[in-house]
Amino acid sequence: MHIPDGYLSTRVWVITDLVAAPGIALLARRAQAKFNHHLIPLMGVMGAFVFAAQMINFPAGNGTSSHLVGAALLSCLLGPAAASIVMTAILATQALVFQDGGLLALGANIFNMAIAGVFAGYLPYAMFRGSRVGLFLAGFFSLMTAAVLALSELLISGVAMPPAMLSVSFAWFLVSAAIEGALTLAVAVALERIQPGCLRKPVAGGRAWAVSGLAAVLLSSAGWLFASDRPDGLESLALKAGISNRVTSLIASPFGDYQASFVANPRLAKSVAGLAGILVIYGLCMAISRAIGATRREGA
Amino acid sequence: MSRIVEVRELRYVWEDGTEALRGVDFDLEAGETVALLGPNGSGKTTFALHLNGLLKPTQGTIKIDGLPVIERNLSQIRRKVGLVFQDSDNQLFMPTVLEDVAFAPMTSGLSPEASAEKAMDALRLVAMDHKANKAPWHLSAGEKKRVAIAGILASDPLLLVLDEPTTYLDPPGQRSLATLLSELPQAKILITHDMPFARMLTKEAVFFQDGQIAGRGPVDQLAAHFNW
Amino acid sequence: MRHARLELWSRGTSFAHRRHPAAKILVTLVFLIAISSLHPSQARAAIFYFVVLTALASAAKLPVPRVLLAAAVVLPFACVFALMSFFAGAPEKGIAIMVRSWLSALTTVLLMATTAQPDLLAGLEALRVPRFLVQVMQFLYRYLLVLIEEAGAMRAAAASRAGKASTLEFRRASAAAGVLFARSWGRANAIHQAMTARGFTGHIPRFRVLRITAADVWFVFGLVGPVLAVRLVLP
């Protein structure tokens, strides 16, 4: 899941770095504003905890074992903004100290695991108000989103993969995601028993926000893969999502030039445009969910 | 002699309603050393945390060197009272020994250069100056304890409060710690179950029981009286 | 332990160790960018980077074979991709991935082997990485070993009571993770208490004063120039 350096094409690592850097800066400010100052040691120790918890082997059937990834668990414990920062600190430490994941690819890994993975974990948790189903789904979606994003980035970068490998990867992702869900649930239940009240209660009334947010994350990660697999994925996705032609042309226009000047490979060019389009769709979904959330609050 | 610690009628009730301290009166003069004895959960550590303002009394007053322990005075109080916690790893939170010892001078507003100088002085006092640039995990338990003490000494305290300082230390480490502490001029409060160690450092002890001071006097006499 | 070895190397005093950490991070990034875009046909550029990196390692008085080996940690994963490329009918892509990822890892290992961790964090901060994130990384690194030791002890304890049934074992492992968490949480609070006792009020002062010297500037331009030139000139 940690993409090393040397795999991603220049466009992919540049774009993901450009998305991840301001994202993390924003989240850092948010996390900092929300808590008091005991947060810095707490977040550092929680990062070390996730590292250490990865040493505990869980039997995963057939004599194999698995370990916790932790993004979903962190988001349930600390809330999404702080969890993103802790995951970022973990990923940076893994890349620097253990050569687990690359430095140029750090933006991609942060985007996949620390941003998308954390939020994809937090949203079902908030949606199901911290119930057991929510905890399982948190782990499941967190890992699934991160894995699908990583695979898509590799494919967009032109990493060669036999078609059969794709379906194998997917099956493997499903199994890993189910295991992560089970681990997140099991560890969270054990935590609640030892230290009641340590899981953050999700904010009530955020259900509309959570539903549309989750939809946006899933849509964007599925769409990302779609765009990478089929160069014209964006257009059909946009049509299915019912976005008018005007919006599509708006998305396409700045990348029309980009396509002509920088990218020789048309397939790649469309993928880049696809990425940008998906980001726009994601933004729209978030804006709509914000609006729904706001009217809900006024109504209540 | 001036009075370093003056505690009157100190009561502390935890959030869940447990009474941890039930009316404690305590005095300590400059340069004195006293051992706090008593069973686990009798309130020794809770008492110690009050001296530095880490806990706010439910009732009662505390004065350090004549200065009431209240919000307004906390930064001064924290320089006068140094707490040395049981687990040195929790205390040595900075990446290197020197940075850790320089932490208190730095937070009190000294420049990095002046803080480093103060930190080196403190490290020399505990004979750890040769490890200044090491990371904490390169140190043995005894060395960590010495560095933790240096981190306290760097802010020129009047009082050292040591919570179970001999935990994790081997016998030679315990002896050398006792020698070091006996050479420091500050007043000392020693929370410990380690009677030989307590005897090496002081003749006087206080016995805590159920959140109260059940007795004060010579170590041996108290030990005999409470069957300790 | 991997990070112990890097840490040991990073305490050297060679010219590379003495450079400003931000300068070393910049040079690292330039190397990585040049390497990441290497095409399968650019073997000569790849060899040039390998020679420069090896020369740097030896100039920094590092044990060169062990440094090369440390970077090889990325190769097993790359082999999987090389095999996949082979089966997908593009073996040259697979070889390119192996070369690029190994050279990239070598660059990162060199950065870490010549930069002490606190200096590295100071360098990141100088390059405008949010201070909040840098401090979280500082505490993470500080307590990594402490917690790994605790986890190791707990794993041994769990193994000594291991049951046969997989579900039972699963429950024990999650209970161990729960205990580890509770201890970590308690430790975080104790650390905060110790910090507060020493006057912490929410602000960790900057202790390290790093100054950019002429040697740092020469270091950056002396390496960035050839690295980019080779990338642009060689076919």
Q: Quick: pLDDT tens for C58-108.
A: 999 999 999 999 999 999 989 988 888 888 888 888 899 999 999 999 999
Q: Is the pTM of this model over 0.90?
A: no
Q: A48-79 pLDDT, tens per residue? A: 999 888 877 777 665 666 778 889 999 998 88
**Residue-number span of the structural domain to which C94 is assigned:** 2-126+211-233
Identify whether residues C107 and C217 lie together within a single domain.
yes
Interface check for C188 against chain A (CB to CB < 8 A): the answer is yes
Which among C35, C138, C148 has CB closest to A44? C138
In a domain, C17, yes or no: yes
In a domain, C206, yes or no: no
- Mean pLDDT score, A80-94: 94
- What span, in angstroms and rounded, lies between the C-alpha atoms of A60 and A174? 14
Residue C113 exposure: Cα atoms within 13 Å on the Cβ side: 26
Residue segments in chain B with a per-residue pLDDT below the cut of 70:
1
- What span, in angstroms and rounded, lies between the C-alpha atoms of A200 and A226? 35
**How near does any CA of chain C get to the CA of B120, in Å?**
14
Tokens describing residue C120: 């590295």
Query: Which chain B residues have a beta carbon less than 8 Å from that of C187?
Result: 87, 89-90
Q: Chain-wide mean pLDDT for chain C?
A: 88
Identify whether residues C58 and C106 lie together within a single domain.
yes
Interface check for C77 against chain A (CB to CB < 8 A): the answer is yes
Tokens describing residue B50: 């009050």
Q: Helices in chain A by DSSP H: which ranges?
A: 10-34, 39-53, 71-78, 80-98, 106-109, 118-127, 132-156, 163-194, 207-229, 233-240, 245-261, 266-299
- The superfamily in CATH containing domain B3-225 is P-loop containing nucleotide triphosphate hydrolases (3.40.50.300)
What lies within 8 Å, CB to CB, of B37 at 6+ separation is B192, B193, B198, B205, B206, B207, B208, B219, B222, B223, B226, B228
Tokens describing residue A251: 């998305």
Task: Give the count of Cβ contacts less than 8 A between chain B and C.
Answer: 82
- Answer yes or no: are the C-beta atoms of B182 and B175 closer than 8 Å: no
Interface check for C78 against chain A (CB to CB < 8 A): the answer is yes
Interface check for C69 against chain A (CB to CB < 8 A): the answer is no
Main-chain phi, psi angles of B5, to 5 degrees: -120, 135
In a domain, C202, yes or no: no
Residue C35 exposure: Cα atoms within 13 Å on the Cβ side: 33
Chain A touching partners, 3 or more CB pairs below 8 A: C
pLDDT at A286: 47
Q: C137-163 pLDDT, tens per residue? A: 999 999 998 898 888 887 777 667 665
Residue C216 pLDDT grade (very low, low, confident, very high; cuts 50, 70, 90): very high
Identify whether residues C122 and C136 lie together within a single domain.
no
Which among B89, B112, B155 has CB closest to C207? B112
B137/C208 touch (CB, cutoff 8 Å), yes or no: no
Please check the confidence at residue A238 and state whether its pLDDT lies above 70: no
- Answer yes or no: are the C-beta atoms of C218 and C224 closer than 8 Å: no
Query: Which chain B residues have a beta carbon less than 8 Å from that of C121?
Result: 95
The conformation of residue C73, written as its DSSP 8-state character, comes to: G
Please check the confidence at residue A165 and state whether its pLDDT lies above 70: yes
C206/B112 touch (CB, cutoff 8 Å), yes or no: yes
Q: Chain-wide mean pLDDT for chain B?
A: 92
What's domain A1-202's architecture?
A: Orthogonal Bundle (1.10)
Identify whether residues C106 and C146 lie together within a single domain.
no
Interface check for C89 against chain B (CB to CB < 8 A): the answer is no
Q: Which of C138, C198, C206, C211 to mutate to test the interface with B (most CBs of B within 10 A)?
A: C198
B135/C7 touch (CB, cutoff 8 Å), yes or no: yes
Where do you find CATH 1.10.1760.20 in chain A? Answer: 1-202
Identify whether residues C106 and C27 lie together within a single domain.
yes
Residue A216 pLDDT grade (very low, low, confident, very high; cuts 50, 70, 90): low
Which amino acid is it at A174?
L
Please check the confidence at residue A269 and state whether its pLDDT lies above 50: no
Please check the confidence at residue A193 and state whether its pLDDT lies above 70: yes
Q: How many structural domains comprise chain C?
A: 2
pLDDT at A107: 94
Cα Dmax for chain C: 65
In a domain, C68, yes or no: yes
What lies within 8 Å, CB to CB, of A170 at 6+ separation is none
